[in-house]
Amino acid sequence: MENKTVNFMRLLSEDSTHSTVSSDSCEYYQTEIFDLLPSIQASRPEQSRKPSEAYQDGPVPGEESIHGHLSSGPRDKAPTQPLRNMVICIQGKRSVRDRRKMQISDIGFWVSWRRSQSITMKRVWEQMGGALSGLLPWQHTLHAIEGRYGFGVKAYFVLLRYLVNLNLLHCALIFGFIVGPTIFYGRSKSSEPLKFGGNDSVLDFFLGSGYLDRSPVFYCFYTPGSLNMQCLNTPLLYLAGILTILFLTLILVVRRTTVGYKHTWMLGKQYSMNVSYKIFCGWDFTIQDPAAATLKHSFIRNDLKLFLEEQSFSLREAQRTLGQRVRLYLLRFFLNLLVLSLLGGAFYLIYFATNKSQDQGIPGERQWLVILVLQYLPPITISFVNLLLPHIFRKISSFEDYSFTMQVNATLVRSIFLKLASLGIYLFFIFKHLKDQSQCLENLFGREMYKLCIFNFLTAFCNAFFLNYPRKLLQEKYPSSLLAQLWGKQCFLVPFNVLDLVYIQTVSWVGVFYCPLLPLIGVVTLTATFYIQKFSVLRCCVAEQRMFRGSSSSVLFHFMLLLGLLMAVATLGFNLYQPREPACNHRFSCGPFGNGQNVFNVTGVCVDSLPSPAQSTLSYLNSSAFALPLILAEIIILTSYVSRGRANQKAIERLKDMLVMSSSDKRFLVKQHTTLLRRQRNPCRVRPAAIEENQRLPPES
């Protein structure tokens, strides 16, 4: 990067350029004026000593002011606080350094050594954190995307990277619990050997049948082998691996959701209501491109326009008459009926595609291409519905006379319901059709999830290289053509792309029990999706002119992931708890839970083999007598968190008051500076106006 000289100019007045005040008098006046600051006078009743005693040694503002305002906490951290983190001038930092050196002889060798070690450890941890953050994949790419398109588009790629890392963790757990023990201890003697037979073809890798059906990708490969102890066997390890994945994922997703919600709750009101915050704190300092800087200007301008539109909408909404309200509610009622009709039609299409896919007829009567299309007919239908209906929902919400924020939220809620409900309807029909099959039920269900993952990746690939890229070339080569004007420029719609990621990850969580290597397939497809979307954003898309507020925070994204995870847990629980008929021998002859075993039989045998104290403990934990202390413990924990939240709220209010007082100090100092300059010109006629005003103010209690 070339070094460019930046000229910083400040506004100069005639008084400021012709000041005759010497440096000695300014230093003496600043010492005298410190006790006259509004913040010092407001906090004087709370101080335990006089100002002359508190500041006789010439303390540096930034250390002692912290002690005066926050009496607990920062007093102990100030001596070990690095100088570069202090918001004071260079001369003040030098004074602090000299004072710390003088204090070493007073505090003793042991305390001085502990303080120096604490500072050294903080520096080491900061350097290690910076080095580890530099090792994160695609860091430079994310920085470039943020510089050109802002934080909203970057949030999508950050979520995509998070899902890749999450699936890598899933792969490690699956290898440790499922794949590793099966490879080390072997499978049952009745298992078929894994080799490419004469009836296998390349088409099996797209359909999940044949050779791939017998491979470690699917459920039936993991049959019990030589590891056959009562509490350490293949079925228990398989179940423990899946439950560990779901439980650990729940903890990680809930943690990221709550942390993001905490920051959004603290800053949400400021962002949505305070216009001064948008003007003075809305700039993105990571922008490097001049075009991106111009675009950021338009973002801020459009955000202010959006704020004014919402205010005018609120005023217009308050002025509606009774007849207008009735007509509007009737219009919204019919539009919601239209939305429900579209959802019903989408669900019927999924049902029709599932029936056609399962009705294969006699094998060998159809060509391989027809078989491939019929097998992928449900994924094609689901992708078509999920691609078309969200845009229709966005058009419908524009006719409902909502504010822009409410239109976006209504579209997102309908789109989330569409994607998760379409997947749920498909799973319901699949469970219904697979009951009459003579093959392994879990393998057939895992095959459907495998096809959904493969087709989602193919859809992303074709959308980028066969739709977006030709559209961009048409805009570049023939910008004045009718097709280019009708098609318009391609924008990266963050909400809809995030919904696609949530859908893909939900499919992976639903199918991990039936297809254990699905997270590994997810790592490969998500990594390829990252580079595909990177090409689509940087080469084919332009930044959206109207900012989506929900994209500035990842809370909504992780909440969608949480809904998908809950749906996966519900699907797994429904499949495990559903009654199984002993007559259907095909459902008991495959996978780790074969030969009449199920989850409850295996765990029951393990519990019965434990010693009596362990059995009594587990029986007590499973009884209703344990519910009362558990509820009491939850009440205590929730009470402590509520108390901490209230204390933090009080601290936030105090910090807000400190900000107000600091602005009062600035106004007071500006008035004093102006009065001082005028007094130097006219020493007999001008009295310090700020001091006079301060004397007229009544004392604060």
Q: Tell me the domain boundaries of the chain.
A: 53-135, 139-622
Report DSSP state, residue 78.
T
Mention every residue, 6+ apart, whose C-beta is less than 8 A from residue 291: 148
Of 192, 191, 186, 218, the residue nearest 205 (C-alpha): 218
Give me the percent of the chain exceeding a pLDDT of 90. Answer: 14
Work out the pLDDT band at 457, boundaries 50, 70, 90: very high
Which class for 248: exposed (0-12), middle (13-18), buried (19 or more C-beta within 10 A)?
Answer: middle
Tens-digit pLDDT profile for residues 638-651? 898 888 888 888 88
Q: What is d(CA 492, CA 496) in angstroms, rounded to the nearest whole number?
A: 9
DSSP string over 182-239: HHHH---TTSPP----TT--TTHHHHT-TTGGGSTTSGGG----S-B-SSSBHHHHHH
pLDDT(493) > 70: yes
Structure tokens at 661: 């007082």
Is the pLDDT at 225 greater than 90? The verdict is no
| DSSP 8-state code for residue 38 | H
Which residues fall within 8 angstroms of residue 307, CB to CB, at 6 or more apart?
Answer: 275, 278
The more confidently predicted of residues 595 and 444 is: 444
For 588, the token pair is 């008991």
Better-scored residue on pLDDT, 245 or 299: 245
pLDDT recorded at residue 232? 81
pLDDT of 559 over the 80 cut:
yes
Burial 401-428 (b: 16+ CB within 10 A, else e): bbbbbebbbbbbebbbebbbebbbbbbb
Which amino acid would we find at residue 599?
Answer: V
**pLDDT averaged over every residue in the chain:** 76
Integer Cα distance of 149 and 144 in angstroms? 9
Amino acid (one-letter) located at 302: N
Residue positions counted in the chain? 701
Average pLDDT over residues 218-237: 81
What is the rounded CA–CA span in Å between residue 205 and residue 4?
A: 55
pLDDT level of residue 248 (50, 70, 90 thresholds): very high
- 274-280: long-range contacts at Cβ-Cβ below 8 A with a sequence spacing of 24 or more? 275/304, 275/307, 278/303, 278/304, 278/307, 279/304
**Range 58-72 burial, b when 16+ CB lie within 10 A, else e:** ebbebbebbebbeee
Which carries the bigger pLDDT value, residue 471 or residue 228?
Answer: 471
CA dihedral 537, 541, 546, 547 (to 10 degrees): 0
418 within 8 A of 386, measured Cβ to Cβ: yes
If phi > 0 it is left, if psi is from -120 to 50 it is alpha, else beta; for residue 364 that is: left
Token pair of 32 as six digits:
């005298």
The more confident residue out of 646 and 436 is: 646
pLDDT for res 231: 80
| pLDDT higher than threshold 70 for residue 61 | no
> How many whole angstroms separate alpha carbon 49 and alpha carbon 406?
55
Report the pLDDT value the prediction gives residue 524, as an integer from 0 to 100. 94
Handedness of CA 425, 428, 433, 437 (dihedral sign): positive
User: Which of 75-89, 117-131, 554-568 is most confident?
Assistant: 554-568
Do 489 and 540 form a contact (C-beta atoms < 8 A)? Answer: no
Report the range of poorest mean pLDDT among 18-27, 33-42, 298-307, 553-562.
18-27
User: Does 523 or 440 have the greater pLDDT score?
Assistant: 523
Tokens representing 694 are: 């301060």
Q: What pLDDT sits at residue 249?
A: 93
Q: How confident is the model at residue 77 (pLDDT cuts 50, 70, 90)?
A: very low
Percentage of residues in the chain with pLDDT exceeding 70?
73
Task: Write the CA distances from 227 to 230, 236, 241, 321, integer angstroms.
Answer: 9, 11, 16, 76
Query: What confidence category does residue 244 fall into, taking pLDDT thresholds of 50, 70 and 90?
Result: very high
Q: What digits encode the pLDDT tens for the residues 326-347?
A: 998 999 999 999 999 999 999 9
In this predicted structure, which of 13-17, 170-174, 190-194 has the lowest mean pLDDT? Answer: 13-17
Residue 228 is predicted with a pLDDT of 77
Token code pair at residue 158:
């950050």
Q: Please, what is the angle between helix 404-434 and helix 441-463, to 10°?
A: 140
With 90 as the cut, is the pLDDT of residue 628 above it? Answer: no
Averaged pLDDT for residues 573-600:
66
Q: What was the pLDDT predicted at 698?
A: 53
pLDDT band of residue 504 (cuts 50, 70, 90) is very high
* Buried/exposed code over 501-525 (b: 16+ C-beta within 10 A; e: otherwise): bbbbbbbbbbbbbbbbbbbbbbbeb
Task: Give the alpha-carbon dihedral of 310, 312, 315, 318, to 10 degrees.
Answer: -60
Residue 167's pLDDT band, with cuts at 50, 70 and 90, is very high
pLDDT score of 691 more than 80: no
Given a cut of 60, whether residue 284 has pLDDT beyond it is yes
Tokens 């709220």 sit at which residue? Answer: 649
pLDDT of 15 above 70: no
Return all residues near 541 (Cβ < 8 A) that are at least 6 apart: 468, 490, 491, 492
Place 137 in a pLDDT band, splitting at 50, 70 and 90. Answer: confident
CB under 8 Å to 78, separation ≥6 — which residues?
A: 63, 66, 67
Tokens 């000593």 identify what position? 49
Q: How far apart are CA 143 and CA 193, in angstroms?
A: 49
pLDDT confidence tier of residue 530, bands split at 50, 70 and 90: very high
- In the chain, the largest separation of any two C-alpha atoms, in whole Å, equals 111
Residue 326 corresponds to which amino acid? V
Across 178-192, 271-285, 445-459, 602-616, least confident range: 271-285
Q: Where are the alpha helices (DSSP H) in 552-626?
A: 555-577, 599-608, 612-621
Give helix 377-398 / helix 494-511 axis angle, nearest 10°.
150
CA 550: distance to chain centroid? 11
- Asked whether residue 66 carries a pLDDT value surpassing 70, the answer given is no
- The partner residues of 228 in beta bridges, in order of sequence, read 233
What phi, psi does 51 have (nearest 5°)?
Answer: -65, -35
Specify the pLDDT at position 684.
58
> Quick one: three-class SS letters along 126-187?
HHHHHHHHHCCCCHHHHHHHHHHHCHHHHHHHHHHHHHHHHHHHHHHHHHHHHHHHHHHHCC
